[in-house]
Amino acid sequence: MAILSNFPLIAALTAIIFAQLIKIPVAFLLQRKTTWGLATSTGGMPSSHSASVSALITALALQEGVNSPFVAIASTFGMIVMFDSMGVRRQSGEQGILLNHLILDFQNLSNKVLRITHESDTTKSPQKETHLKEYLGHKPIEVFFGILTGIGVAFVIRKILITFGL
């Protein structure tokens, strides 16, 4: 199959999968909340966004040479992806944190003002808890380690492909 010989694609996809799976032991080592859900979540260490575009850029540089227009295109694309993962997406996550605090404060205040408790008023339906996702983007250190992960994955995949003659 021709897809198995597409080194840049294999490197980029492998980097995404590896970066997502490695988030679980990294979170454990950093003594953070560790669940299997980390493997499919956004944010965290390392950045799979950065890992995938770095693996793509590295694989293209190894295959085509650093002067290739493909490397230029992938590098430009990679910078946009990494900037976005640290900038816009991170800011959205921080806004989610703030909005979650505001919602909780408002619910607590309304419960105090209206003196609504679950024990004394059984006719009221329980309030639906609203919770926005808070971890959408990456810290610069997470992007940095994503870059290192992607570069490493590209070199390992290249070695494997050469070893098996693919």
Average pLDDT over residues 27-48: 79
Counted residue by residue, the chain has a size of 166
Reported pTM: 0.72
Give the three-state DSSP class for 86: helix
User: Which one of 37-41, 121-125, 151-155 scores highest in mean pLDDT?
Assistant: 151-155
Average pLDDT score over the chain: 82
Average pLDDT over residues 23-46: 80
Instruction: Report the C-alpha gap between 153 and 150 in whole angstroms.
Output: 5
Quick one: pLDDT at residue 40? 76
